[in-house]
Amino acid sequence: MQQGSDRLNIVVDRNIRGAEDTFGRHGRLTFLDGRSITAGHLENTDALIIRTATQVDHRLLQNSPVGFVGTTSIGTDHLDIEFLNQQRIRWASAPGCNADSAAQYTLAMIWLACQRLERDLADLSVGIIGRGNVGSRLLHLLTALDVRCVANDPPLSEQGVAGLVSLNEALEQDIVSLHVPLQHAAPYATCGFVGAGELARMPEGALLVNTARGDVVNGEALEAQLRRGRLHAALDVWPGEPLFSASLLDLTTVATPHVAGYSEDGKRNGTRMVYRAFCQWSRLQPVDPAASDIPTPVLELRAGEHALSKVLDAACFVGRHDEAMRKLIPLEPDQRAIEFDRLRRQYPSRRDFQAWTIRCTESILTPDLRQLGFSIEQMSD
């Protein structure tokens, strides 16, 4: 524990939003590239605030004075939690902080993939594997669009939650969307759990969507299915990233650089959640961050435009980053990894659906975008 009168030394991943207005009120901030943080950077550091790019284990922390580690992400597979607990290093994550962002982006990826495959989402069924924070929100969005969905979640099934299906039934749908954490240990190990057998259960022509963690899927098995043309894939996360397969990228229907949860709203939610845990650890009084100066985005729809296509493109711009990803295919592996991280680092500002105002006439409001979270400002016909 730190005393409230001390100024703390805090190392922060440079991609974290709002650090100056929160952690910066209590200490000296050193901003670094998350993937480049080493033990040498932490010799005089009290707290480390990161995202998923930093692997936190004994090699990074064993000789450091770090007493608090906070990751502004929902996942913790990059933290050696057993080591942190053994060393009595307080740690915190931000479960659910960007669940809306990730679910909305997943919907946009599915929509773009269906367009490219010349399929109507309304005619398809979706199997959601993992009905936690993100999966449950995706289920809500798809249900609002009258898409048939089933969900599989063994931990929830064991808790007696109703309405869930077996893994096999989820895999048998036209679209399979993954929303599970990356876990290496039983009873719910997920590393590589979508392998050759699971992919074989999927019907001919099915679409696999992954916005969870890349290593949940066996990359070689998936690539073999894509090369045969038996399955299709929309991937935001990649086995082995940032050193991922160029041939797998080339075979995907939609490809983006691990940015599903990268909305401004989700990032700032994550910062606030970890900041509160940091203040509890340091016995400091939290300071309310300044109000965001990010303008409210507005989109105007006109008659003759496809409302859902236009709003998903405006709010999530998946196609733009799919195009950027494909430019990485001819690069050497190390350079591809560098450019992959650059795309994540330079990702433009994105707002969740709830931040948007859509101006349109009632007559063209199909589907009802309010069901997806958008605010509607009526215009006269």
Candidate list 35, 90, 213, 350, residue with the active-site label: 213
Whether 241 is catalytic is yes
Q: What is the DSSP letter of 210?
A: E
Enter the tokens of residue 274: 């970890």
Burial of 306-322, coded b for 16+ CB within 10 Å and e otherwise, reads ebbebbbbebbbbbebb
Closest CA relative to residue 177, chosen from 157, 152, 196: 152
Beta bridge partners of 255: 235
Q: Is 12 in a helix, a strand, or coil?
A: strand
Whether 258 is catalytic is yes
Candidate list 26, 241, 268, 351, residue with the active-site label: 241
Whole-angstrom Cα distance, residue 139 to residue 144? 9
Q: Give 285-348 as a DSSP string.
A: ---PPPPP-PPPPEEE--TTS-HHHHHHHHHH-HHHHHHHHHTTTTS-HHHHHHHHHHHHHTPP
Candidate list 258, 268, 272, 350, residue with the active-site label: 258
Q: Which H helix or E strand runs over 238? A: none
Answer yes or no: are the C-beta atoms of 355 and 347 closer than 8 Å: no
Helices vs. strands in the chain: H and E counts, helices first = 13, 14
**Phi, psi at residue 60, to the nearest 5°?**
-85, -35
* Backbone Cα Rg of the chain: 21
Q: Which residues are catalytic?
A: 213, 241, 258
